[in-house]
Amino acid sequence: MKSQPNADGLARELAAVRKLIEGHADMQQLIDLAADEADRRAVAGERSRRVAWRVAAAFGGLAVAAFGVAWGAVQTAMRPSPPPEVLVVDKAGGVVQPLISLADFQLSPEEATIRRNIDTLVTACEGYTYELADVHYYHCAAFFSPQLQTEWARKWDKSNPDSPPNKYKKDRTVRAKVGAITVLRNGVGAAIGARASFTRTATLNGMDDGSPTTWVANLSFRWVNQPTNERDRRVNDLGMEVTDYTSDRDLTSTRLVPPPAPLRQASNTTQPSRMALVAPTGEEGTP
């Protein structure tokens, strides 16, 4: 049997090794030291592998960050430069401001129509010249509700000493120049009113009568049926009806030029037909 001699040989070899170890007192210590060294090297190798992975990860992160910076630099280099900006210097105060492009003032058709109507309304209601008295009278009334038209006709009546023709006569003029216009809207975005700042300049016999003054007009409006006659259509083509109108002095102005008295909605007046008023002068007579 071959397995029996092999087993005997292995036993003899083990016995020889045991005898060798027992014959040398420091052999066991050497074996223990060798085992400790093997464990230390294994731990050191594992630690080295972990450090190597960490270093590799750090360099990978740096590589990604560098790639991101490089990509950002490329994108910045490829981005077109902004257009040149034109600066305007105020000669009076020396203030430097950028010149605003007309593209920044693009308006919707509704917004443009409202602003045009308000400019026409305020210019007519707040200004006065003898030659254009009928234009001021009619253009203002063209936007008023029937109630405000009644108040407007009463204000221009010849028997009223404070009417513009009686107050200013032929030798005095008042010109209104509209500035900023703010359209007021309700919660759903519908336009219901506006606020307009304007400057009033008075002249007497062609000479300036005091310094210009600034005012603020506040009004409420609504849209009604379009005007039914050609004259009304040329002034108020889309039927904008002002239901409340007031003008107040701006506190920053220094000289008071008497404006037309505020017009407010009247609840106890008889409502005439819309645009039933006539011009104060000319072929149609005086109200």
List Cα–Cα distances, 153 to 47, 82, 263, 279, in angstroms.
101, 56, 11, 10
Going 91 to 181 to 198 to 254, the CA torsion angle's sign is negative
Residue 83 has pLDDT above 50, yes or no: yes
pTM score, two decimals?
0.55
Residue 279 has pLDDT above 90, yes or no: no
pLDDT tier for residue 69 given thresholds of 50, 70 and 90: confident
CA separation for the pair 235, 245 (Å, rounded): 18
CA separation for the pair 23, 20 (Å, rounded): 5
**Topology of domain 113-249, per CATH?**
Nuclear Transport Factor 2; Chain: A, (3.10.450)
pLDDT tier for residue 256 given thresholds of 50, 70 and 90: very low
pLDDT tier for residue 67 given thresholds of 50, 70 and 90: confident
Q: Are 118 and 142 in contact (CB under 8 A)?
A: no
Sequence-distant (6+) residues with CB within 8 A of 78 are: none
Note the pLDDT tens digit of each residue in 165-219. Answer: 998 888 899 999 999 999 999 999 899 999 999 999 999 988 888 889 999 999 9
Tell me which of 256 and 84 has the higher pLDDT.
84
State CA 187 to chain mean position distance: 17
Residue 92 has pLDDT above 70, yes or no: no
Q: Are 96 and 87 in contact (CB under 8 A)?
A: yes
State CA 193 to chain mean position distance: 19
Residue 250 has pLDDT above 60, yes or no: yes
Tell me which of 21 and 111 has the higher pLDDT.
111
Residue 277 has pLDDT above 50, yes or no: no
pLDDT > 90 in the chain, percent: 34
3-state secondary structure of 243: strand
Range 50-68 average pLDDT: 82
pLDDT tier for residue 53 given thresholds of 50, 70 and 90: confident
